[in-house]
Structure 1
Amino acid sequence: MATPTRTSAVSKFLSNHLRRDAQARETSVAGYMAGLAAACLVAVGALGPYIGWGLTRSLLGLVAVLCLYYTVLWRALRAGWFHPAIHWLNVAIEVSIPSVVLAFDLRFQGPTYALTAPTLVIWGTLVVLAALRTNPKLALMAGALAGGEYLALYFLFVRPLLPEQPLLTLTPPFIIMRSVFLLSSGVATAILARHFMRKTAQALAALREQEVMGKYMLHERIGVGGMAEVFRATYSPEGGFEKQVALKRVLPGFADDIEFVTLFRREAELCSMLHHPNIIQVFDLGRHGNTYFLAMEYVDGLPLSSLLRGLGWQGLPLSAATFLGAELASALDYLHRRTTATGEPLHLVHRDMNPPNVLVSRIGEVKLSDFGIARSASRAQLTMAGNVRGKLGYMAPEQAMAQSIDGRTDLFALGLTLHEALTGRRVLTGENEAQLLMAAVEQPIPPPSHLRPEIPPELDAVVMRLLERDVNKRTPTGAEARAQLLALTGAVAPFPQGQLELTRAAQQALTRVRPSSERVSGAHPLTDDPTQLEARSG
């Protein structure tokens, strides 16, 4: 059963969700009212011979104004405009429609007709319509406004015109009773709205209990791959503390895959040792039900691959690309130099450095993620001879040939990633796995300036040294790669404009890229692209 704290958290989640959905609901109401007003134009015109043309013209004018207002509002809401005050304005307009009709009836047909006209029947319906906004206060306002307007019209304008002996149902006691009924309809609607919200929150809390991974409340799924999926989640232990995280969960069908679960656990163990501003943090590893999960740092942004796609594959601004490269070089340098608590080098190698695994936040932060196949070069027994791990199209030659590797392997992948960030095009291409593996060894790699002439020779030199196929000629460390990038000057200098340019590019891409298996917000990439899957040979 849901605890009070959990139920309160779900109630807050439901309120926030309904608040985000307010524009869609108001759009529906505006569309309904526009259609209703259009239908009333025809109906009022047909009733002209029976109710008199003076009243008909007045009603047609009112309905035409309402039809125009709600049509314009509907189009504006659909185009993205919205203001929270529109709820209150529309409820006031809707509830006041019968008052205007009553005034017209009084003017053209007299007080008795005004108080008995069939149009007054819709007053209660319009009060109930306020419940669609799921705000009990709106329903109360609607009932109070309807009852107050009815009493004001009666005592100020209608009663002085009534005969001395009016119908019993038109005397003040009955009018006050009708006003109380209108007010009561608002109260009843508010009670129903509040009851609906409470019961919905309780039902949602009960349902969420089945989907809560311990202390993590799952929200929308933001990524899915062949063996795992990623959710935006809220870490909400008892006491009201909350933190947004990305929760990576093994799909139930693979929870018994010993090899995959080993990689999954190794990712958590490795990342728990890494503390660097350019590396995704892992907070927790756990098992819930029949599956495993990782709780990771939530990045509000998108993968570099999605960013480039959002920019139309035209490449990043030069300073943004060099800033990105410098940040990634810093992360790799930290990873390669990481030691045990006793100072013994771990010789860690990421082995999966590529654009889908580089996350860029809305404010230009750069994070390296997905350490599932990272390994220590001193623990070679974890990878069998002839077993190639990594993403096809982003491997160093020695990695593609299943030879011994070290940190320089990641630096070759950094060169491929930086080249792609500059040009917007993948460097190594092929039609199948075999061609992609051979491309890492044989395919000529042109300097970035061949595809983007404004790239200066000094930046070409940095990238091409990272892409040396002879590992002994390649840039030896991430620190040296970062130093080379920081030494650049002019338009390609990573500082002081690089992060600002990267921020602008990320925000521009976020407005263009739609959600897919590579998430758009809080990016933690997973992919089923066969050219991007782990390759095994031998």
Structure 2
Amino acid sequence: MSLAAACCVVSTLCFGPLIGWDYAGSVAAVTAGYALYYGIIHRVLQRTEPTSELTSRLTWLNVGLESSVYGIMFLLDVRFSSAELALTNPILIIATAAIVISAIRSDPRLPLFSAAITTAQLLLLYAVAAYPRLSPPVPLMLSPPLILVRGMYLLLTGWLAQLIAKQYRSMAEEALRAIRQQELLGRYFLHERLGVGGMAEVFRATYSPEGGIERTVAVKRILPAYAEDPQFIALFRREAELGSLLQHPNIVQMLDVGRLENTHFIAMEYVDGLSLRQLLDGHGPLPPHAVAFLGAELAAALDYVHRRTSRDGVPLNLVHRDINPPNILLSRIGDVKLSDFGIARAINHASVTRLGHVRGKADYMAPEQLMGEPLDGRVDLFALGLTLHEALTGRRVLVGPEETSRASIQATIEGLPPPSVLRPELPPELDAVVMSLLRLRPEDRPPRGSEVEERLRALPAPVAPHPHGQAALAHAIRDVLARRTGALRTPSSRGGVSSAPSEAPSTRDVTPRIRPGRGT
């Protein structure tokens, strides 16, 4: 700083023969005075710990002193040259620049403050020092009305600079808030949003413990509109609590649950893959041995859920109640995961709901669930049957009937043809497994998921789930992913970039993409 001030003083004195030594010496003295002031302030701040109040006061003082440069140079021009030079000197442009630069200071009011000081100096010095010295007739550009207009322009510049400063400050604060929201409890950093439903949204995130190993996870967060809803918060936390009890290779693993400011979140496994809904929408009916593998994996998961006990060995009698393609997640290598236990309930704690007030997706509900009757694990097996039937045929069995009377449900199910009607190559053994899950009376269905799993794994070649079922499922998944990636890179007919098809968002929740992993 001292070197810069010395250079300014020396360069000013070099103009002495041109502008006069008195004028050059005065400008050099002003420059040296400002340099001395800022040098002292710099040393003081280096030796002490400035408070926020002191910093604020110094900022206002500095802006005031910087704005007063215009008035000082105006007086020097009048004293050593003429009033005309003082009013036409380019120093006014520098003063305007100082007004704009003050916008980057800590307080957005500073630009208007600087403009007010500069305008006051202009009008006061014009009236006291310049106007009496102007030779008549006074040029139009130096007349009082035009000088007043100059002052108005200076104030307008300060006002606009203040508005811009406030806008950029608001944008910066919003960006900072977004970054802070991404750092959930200092451990999770959110990336792109994977999906959003009626009450929650899911992000791909990085788990970054201090000094630990990073891991990609999915973070499910309550939407702001429901962040203060006690009923939904309880439902959200119940999903996390149930998920923490379920450790199975075919069930999404819950990793963490927490709260950040006014919202709650769940951290879970993440996969770069597809949901079964996305796979069926992009591929259509699946190979029979891939469906057999899918069904066996899901049946194993449901059997585990239905048989799960508490840490004290007491049966929990859990029912998922929302088995459907969006809640079945598939990895690139064909791993199958069951997700979204948000409405799962223990049978002995689940209240009987009225018709039209049941939880779950109506297209995949058993008759007793649609009618609000008492439930057990066989409602999940019925939903599994609907899912496998759709995976084989590419058609939904139930399409949200408006009249959910027992007669209408019975007519739909009793008139349902086996999958082989649409795909004659399917063997009767596979038909029998799927249709056994779709019987109207719960007592006529298989009692346990383990029985369904055994029957599927016992299917004869070429529809047996092993050894090629998982590979066929993985091939279909990669095929859809490849086509979706190609669609993202291909210009659409409307001139933009076409995006991959996405699932219709649930009115209740959102399905995260899950990373394949093996539970313990």
TM-score normalised according to structure 1 size: 0.57
Matches within 5 A, 1:108-119: none
Partners of 1:391 and 1:437 in 2: CA distance: 17
Matches within 5 A, 1:377-456: 377-381=347-351, 384=353, 386=355, 387-430=357-400, 433-434=402-403, 440-443=409-412, 444-456=415-427
Q: Secondary structure, in 3 states, of the residue corresponding to 1:260?
A: helix
Partners of 1:246 and 1:505 in 2: CA distance: 24
Letter in 2 for 1:396: A
Partners of 2:509 and 2:256 in 1: CA distance: 31
Assess, with a 3 A threshold, how the Cα gap between structure 1 residues 284 and 318 changes in structure 2: closer, same or farther. Answer: same
Aligned to 1:286: 258
In the alignment, structure 1 residue 254 sits paired with structure 2 residue 226: yes
Alignment counterpart, residue 350 of structure 1, candidates 310, 316, 320: 320
Sequence identity (%): 57
Partners of 2:482 and 2:236 in 1: CA distance: 33
Assess, with a 3 A threshold, how the Cα gap between structure 1 residues 300 and 266 changes in structure 2: closer, same or farther. Answer: same
Assess, with a 3 A threshold, how the Cα gap between structure 1 residues 399 and 225 changes in structure 2: closer, same or farther. Answer: same
Aligned to 2:75: none
Letter in 2 for 1:434: E
In the alignment, structure 1 residue 459 sits paired with structure 2 residue 430: yes
In the alignment, structure 1 residue 331 sits paired with structure 2 residue 301: yes
Q: Secondary structure, in 3 states, of the residue corresponding to 2:204?
A: strand
Matches within 5 A, 1:87-486: 208-214=179-185, 215-311=187-283, 313=284, 315-381=285-351, 384=353, 386=355, 387-430=357-400, 433-434=402-403, 440-443=409-412, 444-486=415-457
Letter in 1 for 2:361: K
Q: Is the 8 A contact 2:216 2:270 kept in 1?
A: yes
Q: Secondary structure, in 3 states, of the residue corresponding to 2:462?
A: helix
Partners of 1:410 and 1:528 in 2: CA distance: 19
Q: Secondary structure, in 3 states, of the residue corresponding to 1:476?
A: coil
Q: Secondary structure, in 3 states, of the residue corresponding to 1:245?
A: strand
Q: Secondary structure, in 3 states, of the residue corresponding to 2:267?
A: strand
Letter in 1 for 2:248: H
Aligned to 1:59: none
Aligned to 1:509: 480
Question: Displacement, 1:346?
Answer: 0.8
Partners of 1:438 and 1:243 in 2: CA distance: 51
Q: Is the 8 A contact 2:198 2:509 kept in 1?
A: no
Partners of 1:478 and 1:485 in 2: CA distance: 11
Partners of 2:330 and 2:219 in 1: CA distance: 18
Alignment counterpart, residue 500 of structure 1, candidates 462, 471, 484: 471
Letter in 2 for 1:476: P
Partners of 1:508 and 1:498 in 2: CA distance: 16
Aligned to 1:26: none
Letter in 1 for 2:312: T
Letter in 2 for 1:350: H
Partners of 1:488 and 1:290 in 2: CA distance: 52
Partners of 2:479 and 2:259 in 1: CA distance: 38
- Name the Cα RMSD after superposition: 2.8
Partners of 2:453 and 2:194 in 1: CA distance: 32
Aligned to 2:506: 528
Q: Is the 8 A contact 2:324 2:364 kept in 1?
A: yes
Deviations 1:491-536 (A, max 9, x none): 11000000000110110111234799xx989x9x882369999xxx
Partners of 1:455 and 1:436 in 2: CA distance: 32
Question: Which of 1 and 2 has greater Rg?
Answer: 2
Deviations 1:413-434 (A, max 9, x none): 000011111111111124x543
Deviations 1:283-336 (A, max 9, x none): 11111111110001112211001001111x2x1111100000000000000000
Partners of 2:510 and 2:372 in 1: CA distance: 17
In the alignment, structure 1 residue 490 sits paired with structure 2 residue 461: yes
Partners of 2:263 and 2:425 in 1: CA distance: 50
Q: Is the 8 A contact 2:371 2:404 kept in 1?
A: no
Q: Is the 8 A contact 2:418 2:435 kept in 1?
A: yes
Deviations 1:241-285 (A, max 9, x none): 211100000001111222221111110000000000000011111
Question: Structure 1: which 5+ residue stretches go unaligned?
Answer: 1-202, 534-538
Deviations 1:146-199 (A, max 9, x none): xxxxxxxxxxxxxxxxxxxxxxxxxxxxxxxxxxxxxxxxxxxxxxxxxxxxxx
Q: Secondary structure, in 3 states, of the residue corresponding to 1:341?
A: coil
Question: Structure 2: which 5+ residue stretches go unaligned?
Answer: 1-173, 489-498, 512-520
Question: Displacement, 1:344?
Answer: 1.3
TM-score normalised according to structure 2 size: 0.58
Letter in 1 for 2:233: V
Q: Secondary structure, in 3 states, of the residue corresponding to 2:443?
A: coil
Q: Is the 8 A contact 1:358 1:368 kept in 2?
A: yes
Partners of 1:479 and 1:210 in 2: CA distance: 43
Deviations 1:461-520 (A, max 9, x none): 00000111111111111000000101101111000000000110110111234799xx98
Letter in 2 for 1:355: P
Aligned to 1:64: none
Letter in 1 for 2:390: E
Assess, with a 3 A threshold, how the Cα gap between structure 1 residues 344 and 207 changes in structure 2: closer, same or farther. Answer: closer
Letter in 1 for 2:269: E
Question: Displacement, 1:450?
Answer: 1.2
Partners of 2:296 and 2:224 in 1: CA distance: 39
Assess, with a 3 A threshold, how the Cα gap between structure 1 residues 531 and 349 changes in structure 2: closer, same or farther. Answer: closer
Q: Is the 8 A contact 2:196 2:510 kept in 1?
A: no
Deviations 1:78-98 (A, max 9, x none): xxxxxxxxxxxxxxxxxxxxx
Question: Displacement, 1:385?
Answer: 5.1
Assess, with a 3 A threshold, how the Cα gap between structure 1 residues 416 and 388 changes in structure 2: closer, same or farther. Answer: same
Partners of 2:445 and 2:509 in 1: CA distance: 26
Partners of 2:182 and 2:211 in 1: CA distance: 20
Q: Is the 8 A contact 1:392 1:531 kept in 2?
A: no
Q: Is the 8 A contact 1:400 1:441 kept in 2?
A: no
Assess, with a 3 A threshold, how the Cα gap between structure 1 residues 212 and 441 changes in structure 2: closer, same or farther. Answer: farther
Partners of 1:290 and 1:219 in 2: CA distance: 20
Assess, with a 3 A threshold, how the Cα gap between structure 1 residues 532 and 472 changes in structure 2: closer, same or farther. Answer: farther
Q: How many residues align?
A: 323
